[in-house]
Chains A and B, each alone.
Chain A
Amino acid sequence: MKNPLDSLWGTIISGVILTAILYYIVKNVLN
């Protein structure tokens, strides 16, 4: 499988997905 960080769009999409996951964790688990 290709590393998504090899492309700029892959990096940006990974960042958006990570933001959504962390937002869910902070909102529903940590607070």
Chain B
Amino acid sequence: MDLVPVLARWLHFLAGVMWIGLLYYFNFVQVPALKAAAADNTAVGITRHVAPRALFYFRWASLVTWLAGAALLGNQFMNAFTLSKGMAGIGVGAWLGTIMLLNVWGLIWPNQKKILGIVPATDEEKTSARRIAFLASRTNVMLSMPMLFFMAGGWSHRGTFGL
């Protein structure tokens, strides 16, 4: 048994579950909860104590997931990202995961830093940051659906879907 792909797959799954689990937590739980909490002035508990911790694991898990996925692809990395014949399924999954990673580090995290007061921002900048972070996060939920479809069915289960 070659240990590197086994460990890379294990780490890819562990970090991926944490990343996408927290993504779904933000979208299915925290966003509606903050709306309800704003009505009775209890949102500060979430924004001060929960959101920063969740964002910490969320953004680092996204990076670990991508790196472990790259290690798992190994010498097929270029074939996947160039969508070579027979590799297009996992390649599309890898591209979707990459776009999602860039969304996390390029849009969600920089804007969340403004929203949570980690970096200084005016009220106007915070309003704009809220909308950008929200849409980037929702985009990632949407992209996670085909991403998981192709991750699970594009390569190791190619025969199942005839890909």
Contacts and interface: CB of A to CB of B under 8 A. Distances in A.
12 contacts: A3-B135, A5-B138, A6-B138, A11-B27, A11-B142, A19-B146, A22-B150, A23-B149, A30-B83, A30-B92, A31-B85, A31-B89
A1 interface: no
B141 interface: yes
- A-B residue pairs, 3 tightest by C-beta: A15-B145, A30-B88, A5-B138
A27 B95 CA distance: 16
- B86, B139, B145, B150: residue with the most chain A Cβ atoms closer than 10 Å: B145
A14 B138 CA distance: 10
Interface string A1-31: 0010110100110111011001101110011
A20 to B, nearest CB: 9
B163 interface: yes
A23 to B, nearest CB: 7
B142 A14 contact: yes
Contacts of A30: 83, 85, 88, 92
B162 A27 contact: yes
- Please tell me the size bucket of the interface on B: 20 to 34
Nearest to B136: A5
Interface of A: 3, 5-6, 8, 11-12, 14-16, 18-19, 22-23, 25-27, 30-31
Interface string B141-163: 11111100110001000000111
Nearest to B154: A26
